[in-house]
Amino acid sequence: MEAWWLNRYFPKMMSNSSAAMHNYERVFSALHSAGFEDIQTEKFFVDNDLKDCFLQVGKQRPHMYLDPRVRAGISSFALVENQEEIILGCEELRKDIASGEIKKIIELHESKLGDYVFIYGIKK
């Protein structure tokens, strides 16, 4: 989340969302402590076919974040106390979409690590 392109427009919101996520070490440790073995990861990349409007659903469809109804259904946006960042971020995003700059910004933030990662193991 820390490297994702939404950080350019909504840095405080993304920082708060990132802080709420558990890091790999903590999850691995918890699984190991719970008796899981052979703990592995699997990358997940967000695509345009998803219907659920979670935070990264607009990865390749940035215009979605300009819709207040979409933002209202995404907890990271809906729970922001200071809406000024959202208003200003949307204004900048709207400009970058109109100019085509958003395509470059999205490309700069592409990661081969995945948009999400599933962590799983076997409990014996």
For residue 81, the model assigns a pLDDT of: 81
Bigger pLDDT: 122 or 113?
122
Q: Distance (Å, rounded) from C-alpha 13 to C-alpha 20?
A: 11
CB within 8 Å of 55: residues ≥ 6 apart: 6, 17, 74, 75, 76, 77
Q: Which residues pair with 36 in a beta bridge?
A: 123
DSSP annotation of 121: E
Query: How confident is the model over 3-59, as pLDDT tens digits?
Result: 789 999 999 998 888 777 777 788 889 999 999 999 998 887 777 676 666 677 778
Contacts of 62 (CB under 8 A, 6+ apart): 93, 96, 97, 102, 106
Q: What's the pLDDT at 48?
A: 66
> Could you say which of 1.25.40.10, 3.40.50.150, 1.20.1270.360, 3.20.20.60 is the CATH number of the domain covering 5-123?
3.40.50.150
Domain coordinates in residue numbering, the chain:
5-123
pTM, to two decimals: 0.76
